[in-house]
A and B are shown apart, each in its own frame.
Chain A
Amino acid sequence: SQQGEEDPQALSIQEGENATMNCSYKTSINNLQWYRQNSGRGLVHLILIRSNEREKHSGRLRVTLDTSKKSSSLLITASRAADTASYFCATMFSGGYNKLIFGAGTRLAVHP
C-alpha cells in the first residue's frame, strides 16, 4: 500500500517557470524523501528532510515539511526541459522501520 499521495498527478509548465508538487502522508515519520524517475529508468534520490526539519534546499530544489499537517512540498525553481520526469515522495515510518513507502508520483512536463 502507498501511504504518501502526491498532488497534482500531472503538471505541465513552460521552461523558466516554477513547479510545485505536494505530498501528504498518514502516519508519523522519521524522514521524507523525494525521488525523480525519468521514463523507464530507475529512481534518483533528490533530497531527504528529517522530521525535525522544516525546510531544505539543494540547488534549484526547495523542500518543506509540515509534520502537523503531515504534508511536504517540493519546489523546482526556474525549471528546464531536462526536469521533465516523474517525482515521488517517499516516507520512512517512525518506530524502528527502515523502508521507504512511495506515493503514486507527480508527472511533470516542462515545455521549451
Chain B
Amino acid sequence: DTGVSQDPRHKITKRGQNVTFRCDPISEHNRLYWYRQTLGQGPEFLTYFQNEAQLEKSRLLSDRFSAERPKGSFSTLEIQRTEQGDSAMYLCASSLSPLEERDGYTFGSGTRLTVV
C-alpha cells in the first residue's frame, strides 16, 4: 500500500458544471476524511466516514456537495453546479479508529479544483 491516492490531481471546470473526485485510502484504515484548503489557510473539515457510514458533515457544506464511500473502500466527492468560490485544494485523509499512539491522519496529495 503506497498511501492515500487522489484522482485527478488537477481539475479545471466551467462554472455550473459538475465535478467528481476520487480518493483511495490506505486499505486497513476504516476512517476517511475530506477537507478543503484555500491559499494561505489550513484545511477545513468537510465530512468523514467510518467504513461506509457518513458520520458527520460540516454545516458549512452546501447541498451541492455530496460524498459517498460505497463498501467502505474508496470515496467520491461530487460538487454540483460548481461556483468560482469552490476553487480550492480538496484533500482526502484516512486513519485507524481509535487513533493509535504516534498515528495521525495520512493525507493524499489533493485535487486542485479551478472553476472558471
Say whether B42 contacts A45, CB under 8 Å. Answer: no
29 contacts between A and B (CB under 8 A): A2-B44, A31-B99, A33-B104, A35-B104, A35-B107, A40-B89, A41-B110, A42-B4, A42-B109, A43-B105, A45-B104, A45-B106, A46-B104, A48-B99, A48-B102, A48-B103, A88-B42, A88-B43, A90-B42, A98-B48, A99-B33, A99-B45, A99-B56, A100-B45, A100-B105, A102-B35, A102-B42, A102-B44, A104-B42
Count: A-B pairs, CB below 8 Å: 67
A68 to chain B, nearest CB (A): 23
Say whether B31 contacts A48, CB under 8 Å. Answer: no
B51 to chain A, nearest CB (A): 13
A88-99 vs B, Cβ < 8 Å mask (1 yes, 0 no): 101010000111
Give the residues from 10 to 58 in chain A that come closer than 8 angstroms, CB to CB, to chain B. Answer: 31, 33, 35, 40-48
Say whether B33 contacts A44, CB under 8 Å. Answer: no
Say whether A42 contacts B99, CB under 8 Å. Answer: no
Tell me the dominant secondary structure on chain B's binding face: loop
Say whether A48 contacts B42, CB under 8 Å. Answer: no
**Which interface class (under 10, 10 to 19, 20 to 34, 35 or more) fits A?**
20 to 34
- Chain B positions near chain A (C-beta within 8 angstroms): 4, 31, 33, 35, 40-45, 48, 56, 60, 89, 91, 93, 97-99, 101-110, 112
A78-112 vs B, Cβ < 8 Å mask (1 yes, 0 no): 00000000001010100001111111110000000
Contacts of A2 in B (CB 8 A): 41-42, 44
In the complex the two chains form, what is the Cα distance from A14 to B48 in whole Å? Answer: 40
Say whether B104 contacts A48, CB under 8 Å. Answer: yes
B110 to chain A, nearest CB (A): 6
A100 to chain B, nearest CB (A): 6
Contacts of A103 in B (CB 8 A): 42
